[in-house]
Structure 1
Amino acid sequence: MPAVASSTPPISPSVPPELIRRVHALRAGDRLTTSIVDYLVPVLVYQLTGSATWAGVAFAAEWIPRIVAIGLGGPLVDRLRPRVVLLAVALARTILLTGGMAALAAGAGAPAIVVLGVACGFLAKVAYLATETLGAAVGRGHRDQARFQGVQTAIDQACAMVGPLVGGVLLVVGGQIGLGAALALSLITALLVAVVRMPPPAGAEGRDRRRSRGLRAGARALRAAPALCWLLTGLVTMNLLTGLLQAAVPVIVSSHGRSAAATGAVWSIGAAASLLAALLCARRLGRVGVPAIALSASLTAAAAGVGAALAGTYAQFVASMALLAAAEGAALVALRTTRARLIPQHVFGSTVAVMALVLLAPMPVGGLLLAAAPRAGLPALLIAVALLHTAITVIAAFGLRRHRHSLTAVPLSPTP
């Protein structure tokens, strides 16, 4: 696939270690801020109102604008620079969190916190696209792309695990303290953005950056990378299974006689399993290749879905969910490494936006399936979706195999 290969710069060991550390730290600051705010907003609303309905509204309000942000943020990142976008997001989030703290102090109530959730949710997705683009730009110059992307994925999973824990501890002291901690992290992130220096794009790359506009450019770049399209196909059905299971967690946990608090253990253990899988697969990816990791992760996810459907105890269900989370962590490393190598830098943000839209769509579909199915039919529904995912995985594996040459055009790790 010459067109793709020519747009990918050669790997060299020229990336300064200090730059890599700063990019990792920047990502950690942004993700941890997002994780804490995502946890705090619904809980604060529930504390203020005592209403589960209001808490649900707050949770939905955080996520709905993220879909809009995907469409706007990708082209914005490509048109400007990731650093510019990240700095703007960090400063805007700092102002919003300051306003949220003032609103709590003034007794403004739940509506003000919901508005904070809406705005921060939008900014979180824009920041996600910018950090993905920045990480890909730095990762292209790293001698071991798989390990670099594995660390980036591990940072995401660690923040997803630590954020709710930190938020829960801070809520014991007070809601303003929790928002204050997120505010401090946002300021630190802004400072980190200020000290990260990226080289300007080359002449041709700069012209391409100015020429590329909107999601159409991202869709064209995605179509030009068939291997990435096949990989994405398998992940779509994995996300359908994941969305169904995530929506069903409270139902299944209660069916095992556990309280709603036991749901938190499912997410914490799952995040830890995903973190471990991401680190292990990053080390193995250069040896076994993307197709093997992706196929193993997809089949593991299908097995986890069947296991969750047939789980006879709470412990068995938690183990199945941990297996699913581990499969997701491995698949993310494969996806991130592949797209960092096959997608031209000047349309990276737009392409990630298109991919995010494709991968996000099955999640609410899973919730609709749960709503439409009778409670007694949930195990059968889970098994059916797991079997569908297995069938699509096999088809995608054959498609990925036909285009495996594009995955070996540039080494994934240093050659001995």
Structure 2
Amino acid sequence: MSYLRSVMSRHFRLEVAFSAFLGSRFLSLLADQIALLAIPVAAYMMTGTVVWSGLALAIQWVPRIVLLPFLSRVVDLYPLRVQYLLVDSTRALLALLLVFTPSLALILLGAGVLSLLNGYAFVILECTVGTRFSRDALTRMQSRLQVIENLSRVLGPGIAGFALSAIGLPLTLAICSVLFVVAYSLGTIFFPHDIGEKVQTQTEGWLQNLRSSAHLLWSVRPLRRLAGLTLGLNFLDGVLTALMPALLVTRLGQSETVIGYLNSAGALTVILVMIVASKLASEKRVKVLGHGALAATIVAVSVVSTASSLTIFTLAYIVYLVANSVFVLYLRTERVRHIPIEHFGQVLGVLIAVILSAIPLSGLAVSLLSKVWSIDIIMLFSVMVASFVYGFSFFSTRVKK
């Protein structure tokens, strides 16, 4: 009995400590999301053209996609605590340097490096959750991670919209730097000692390990399906993000502050949905809701692209945010079940790089197509592309009976 109490007490302390630690990581994720929206929007505000906002989106994501699979191998090799501290301090310094950078081109270049480090930090966090808990505890911790990750995805753009209109890009980046410093400090205090060990020493070379991870991703049908579905959603999301300023400012005649209001309304809705989901969601429910959410994104973005009033635009956009968040919850929960723990960081890095590749492609598409097509046509084109990718991903990964 005393042994059982000791084990239960240890698990309770670990969960409490890790919950506090997740709070520090939320600040890091929030800073990431603020920067991801603030820089493309600022590029549009400074130049008045969606070409630059599309390029900004592409530059932010290309380094993360190309280099993240290599950085992710480091996650499997070294203590996580050290990696957290190094990545937080580096991001804080880089964001601070961007505050004093006068050139838009240099800001975009620095944003690409910052985005890479942000992706690396999330792989560390996902590895921490996915490899350090029993299956029962994993479900609870994964749900908590989904909540803070989805909250940051919606709250970050909302804060970015308000900050850009109130204090401009330099001070918005200064806020990001402060958030990274606070995350670094709290992470040092609350990091649970029980999850500070490295996962496993890898013996394969860098390229061989990368090929093995890519082969695993392709050969496991559930992972391949998840990758395909998320590619479609990320392309849709990238186009919407790049065109958001133009849709609101140019077509609907709104100010930049409306972006903040929209994302704040979306944040409140997503918070409520994620709280309910974390309490009631089961594996089967999350899977059904995740697939249904994809259909909802198609409908919502179609309405956004043709909305003639701010009210309709707002309702459709909030539906899109909720649907996107529900699918992300399904994605994060499902992929952990199919990645081997001994290669978790590497495989996850490859998977993330694959699914993120749609974002710079969407930015490039916006930059090129905006020269010949209207905003509405580009949005509808993105809906068609996402619909095709969704369907292909489902049917190409079916198990034949």
TM-score, length basis structure 1: 0.74
Q: 1:287 to 1:359 in 2, by over 3 A?
A: closer
Q: Does 1:90 align with 2:72?
A: no
Residue aligning to 1:155: 148
Please tell me whether residue 122 in structure 1 is matched to residue 116 in structure 2.
Answer: yes
1:372 counterpart = 2:365: no
> Aligned residue for 1:361?
357
* Displacement after TM superposition at 1:239 (Å): 2.1
Cα distance, 1:64 vs structure 2? 4.0
Counterpart among 348, 359, 364 of residue 352 in structure 1: 348
**Could you tell me which of 306, 312, 324 is aligned with 2:308?**
312
Unaligned runs of 5+ in 2: 1-9
Report matched runs for 1:16-415 at 5 Å. Answer: 16-38=14-36, 56=53, 61-97=59-95, 99=97, 104=100, 109-110=102-103, 116-138=110-132, 140-141=133-134, 143=136, 145-163=138-156, 168=162, 181-194=175-188, 195-199=191-195, 206-207=200-201, 209-211=202-204, 213=206, 214-253=209-248, 254-286=250-282, 288-370=284-366, 371-372=368-369, 379=376, 382-383=379-380, 385-387=382-384, 389-390=386-387, 392-394=389-391, 396-397=393-394, 402=399
Q: Distance in 2 between matches of 1:302 and 1:183?
A: 36
The unaligned stretches of length 5 or more in structure 1 are 1-12, 404-416
Alpha-carbon distance change, 125 to 199 in structure 1, aligned in 2, over 3 angstroms: closer
Q: Identity of counterpart residues, as a percentage?
A: 21
CA distance in structure 2 between the aligned counterparts of 1:176 and 1:374, rounded to whole angstroms: 30
Write the distance in 1 (CA, Å) between the matches of 2:26 and 2:87.
15
CA distance in 2, matches of 1:77, 1:271: 31
Asked whether the 8 Å contact 1:153–1:275 carries over to 2, the reply is: no
- Aligned equivalents of 2:363, 2:177: Cα separation in 1: 33
Question: What is the RMSD of the two structures over their aligned residues, measured on CA atoms?
Answer: 3.9
- Offset at residue 182 of structure 1 (A): 3.9
Alpha-carbon spacing, 1:29–1:40, altered in 2? closer, same or farther (3 Å) = same
1:14-69 residue CA offsets vs partner (Å, 9 max, x unmatched) = 4622232133123213113334455666788999xx65589857766544433344
Aligned length: 380
- Contact 1:73 1:125 (8 Å CA) reproduced: no
- 2:134 alignment partner, SS class: coil
CA distance 1:377–1:159, shift in 2 (3 Å): closer
Q: Which of 295-304 and 280-289 deviates more?
A: 280-289
Contact 2:64 2:115 in 1 (8 A): yes
Question: Within 2, Cα distance between the matches of 1:39 and 1:310?
Answer: 23
Q: Distance in 2 between matches of 1:228 and 1:100?
A: 37
SS in structure 1 opposite 2:136?
Answer: coil
Counterpart Cα distance in 2 of 1:172 and 1:260: 10
Contact 2:57 2:359 in 1 (8 A): no
Q: Are the structure 2 counterparts of residues 32 and 243 from structure 1 closer, same or farther at C-alpha, using a change threshold of 3 Å?
A: closer
Give 1:321 shift: 1.8
In structure 2, the residue corresponding to 1:143 is in which secondary structure? Answer: helix
Q: Once the two structures are superposed, what CA deviation does each residue of 1:350-407 show, in whole Å capped at 9, x if it has no partner? A: 222222222222223334444426777654554455355445545544666749xxxx
Query: TM-score, with normalisation over the residues of structure 2?
Result: 0.77
Where 2:72 maps in the other structure, the secondary structure is helix
Kindly tell me: are residues 201 and 91 of structure 1, through their superposed partners in 2, closer, same or farther at Cα, counting changes over 3 Å? Answer: closer
Letter in 2 for 1:158: L
Q: In structure 1, what is the Cα distance between the partners aligned to 2:273 and 2:17?
A: 25
Deviation per residue, 1:172-211 (Å, 9 max, x gap)? 5798866655444333322344333244779xx635x444
Deviation at 1:123, TM superposition (A): 2.0
Per-residue Cα deviation, 1:254-293 (whole angstroms, up to 9, x for no partner): 2223234433434443444444444433444316344312
Q: Is the 8 A contact 2:64 2:353 kept in 1?
A: no
Equivalence for 2:5: none
Instruction: State the Cα distance separating 1:332 from its structure 2 match.
Output: 0.8
The equivalent of 1:410 in structure 2 is none
Aligned match of 1:7: none
1:348 maps to a residue whose letter is F
Q: Is the 8 A contact 1:14 1:141 kept in 2?
A: no
